[in-house]
Copies of this chain bind each other. A is one copy, B any other.
Amino acid sequence: MYMNYAYECGLPPEIPLTQYLLHRLRQLGIATIFGVPGGYNMPFLREICNVPQMKWAGNTNELNAAYAADGYSRIKHLACLVTTFGVGELSAINGVAGSFAEHVGLLHFVGMPPLAAQMRKLLLHHTLGNGDYKVFHRLGSDVTQYTAVLADTETCSKEVDKCISIAFTKQRPVYLGVPTNISDTLVSSALLNVPLDLSAHEGKTEVQEDFANAVVSAMYKCKNPAIIVDACVSRHDVVAEVRQLVELTQFPVFCTPMGKGAINEHHPRFGGTFVGSISPPQVREVVDFSDFVLVVGALLSDFNSSSFHFAYKAKNTALLFSGYAKLKNAMYPDLELKTALRALLRKLDPSKLKYRPEHVPEVIKPKIKLMNNVPLRQEWVWNQISNWFREGDIVITETGTSAFGVNQSRFPNNTRCITQALWGSVGYSVGACLGASFAAREEGNHSRVILFVGDGALQLTVQEISTMIRWRLKPIIFLMNNSGYTIDRLLHRKSNAGYHDIQAWDNLKILPTFGAKDYDTRVVKTVGDFLGLINDPGFALNNKIKMVEVVLPPMDAPPALMDKWLIADNNDETGSEDINGWQSSKRIKLDSQPSVDSLASIDSLDI
């Protein structure tokens, strides 16, 4: 593909820098650019139509655009977000920080005022009025892996290459500021004939060999092992290696909420979702009492994980992060996930394993038969929906009750899951759904994109549904309407506080208000309604945009959350409804009140 790239694209000998950048993205399979137009990014936008297959999503606002880029990247391993200086980049920064926290590859292109204006400290619009042109770049650098502001026309194409490579290999956001006078710098199109250097930071061979040897010998000895698949397995694309490891060892394998979708949940060795202290008892039984746990693609930094409650009771724990590893108390820095895993697979001799495959926990929930006129509850819905998912689906869940509920469902093989469990920015899922829908269409295999979002969360980012309509994307949206911020009602023990209420919308009017002509809207309130829905073969088709309003009681939630509520109630010394242990400087006893601690951080990564 590369050798004759410029010729095959019919490029002139020199092309503008922004066009060069777009071709680089195209070479990595990127075909959609996210963002909002602004004065300083016009030179970039102008070039989009000059690059084959490339299109401009034209989001409704910058934060939504950042969420969309994040969702797109979780499918395609890279995305590009374009904002303008100051107002644009700051509107997006929360989304970019989320990509940083959750290891998502993102190139954030920021169109900046021309260097001459910056140096003269002209009082342009979108500045703070104090002549400081560096402030936004400084802010961006705290939530990105690498930053560059282009100033030199000689080296700018190299810097662009470096930015894209880092975003892709590190799976983190990179900030690229481009003053408008640099955007159109002419660069040689022949540079595109040489592929980008995407060889990941390889790690030190010796370290990886050492680590692999140590892990393999721990594996040989153990009798009750477990493998746990975490977020970076998908992000750093070691899905195949992990699956091979399971085949070779036959160890029971579990996923974390952020690792969901990376492992085939119908594999005979799959044991369920491990969500720390709120895991199903049969999962805790295996994981907590195993004598060796290997966490692959761990996203957690290691500090304090033992004193907090992503604690594996097993003393033999190997944690494989994206850039380093830990075995018991030994650190292995300078180690790369894929290379280390491959070294491990090379060294592993299955005949030396002491472990003899034992029964893994049963995942399938008992089917509860309910009368058709019974009102819906989340526990039942999340069990039922498992039967409706199909291979290839992309399932997106909002931070809130949906992110808990989905852990209760069982995915068909090759189902991908998008959730923002660590950063947990409410409203993220709607933007991510747009991005994933673009990515799914570009894959060309008609994957369904299925969104579960609460009525509270939807209000933050609702307008991005307009962009889905504009591009005739066809997600299936389940609007879980429980009349407000139910997760907060539960976690903060205030069922009736006015600040958990929201304005009631006529939700099924959203699609036509945003200009949809060909769409499907439904409302389901009872068991009978829901069964009718999932048994309707027409509904299962992703042939148009669909929205189903699932009406649920305000204080209903998936079992994991409801159980936690009950546990907390028993530990509640004050006897009042409000047991958030963080509220009083006098009452706080973090160490002695583990359940309160757990409750307050219930939507953090570790559960």
Contact = CB atoms under 8 A, between A and B. Distances in A.
Interface string A592-607: 0000000011011110
A500 B300 CA distance: 42
Interface residues of A, number: 114
Contact of A590 (B48, B116, B128): B116
Interface stretch (A203-211, A265-273, A419-427): A419-427
B129 A181 contact: no
Contacts of A329: none
Contacts of A463: 459-460, 462-463
A8 interface: no
A421 B182 CA distance: 27
Contact of A603 (B37, B125, B462, B604): B125
A362 interface: no
A600 B116 CA distance: 13
A469 interface: yes
Contacts of A124: 601, 604
A272 to B, nearest CB: 22
B93 A466 contact: no
A45 to B, nearest CB: 5
A304 interface: yes
Give the oligomeric copy count: 2
Contacts of A541: none
A91 interface: yes
A497 B466 contact: no
A505 B514 contact: yes
Interface string A403-430: 0000000000000000001111111000
A485 interface: yes
Given A504-B515, A583-B183, A94 B90 contact: yes
Q: Which among A90, A97, A467, A470 has the highest number of chain B CB atoms within 10 Å? A: A90
Contacts of A453: none
B505 A304 contact: no
A601 B122 contact: yes
Contacts of A303: 121, 123, 131
Contacts of A128: 97, 100-101, 143, 423
A423 B86 contact: yes
A158 interface: no
Given A123-B606, A492-B39, A513-B505, A60 B497 contact: no
A582 B97 contact: no
Interface stretch (A134-142, A216-224, A278-286, A330-338): A134-142
A308 interface: yes
Given A123-B300, A463-B460, A605-B129, A585 B185 contact: yes
A559 interface: no
A497 B56 CA distance: 11
Interface in A280-330: 299-301, 303-305, 307-308, 310
A512 interface: yes
A290 B143 CA distance: 50
Contacts of A366: none
A605 B125 contact: yes
Contact of A131 (B98, B100, B304, B513): B304
B509 A301 contact: no
A126 interface: yes
Contacts of A492: 39, 42
A359 interface: no
Contacts of A39: 488, 491-492, 600, 603
11 contacts: A39-B603, A43-B583, A46-B497, A86-B97, A121-B304, A131-B303, A462-B463, A467-B503, A469-B503, A503-B515, A506-B512
The 6 closest A-B pairs by CB, nearest first: A90-B94, A180-B582, A125-B604, A470-B503, A87-B425, A61-B460
Interface of A: 36-39, 42-43, 45-46, 48-49, 56, 58, 60-61, 63, 86-87, 90-91, 93-94, 97-98, 100-102, 113-114, 116-117, 120-131, 135, 138-139, 142-143, 153, 180-185, 299-301, 303-305, 307-308, 310, 421-427, 459-463, 466-467, 469-470, 485, 488, 491-492, 494, 497-506, 509-510, 512-515, 578, 580, 582-585, 588, 590, 600-601, 603-606
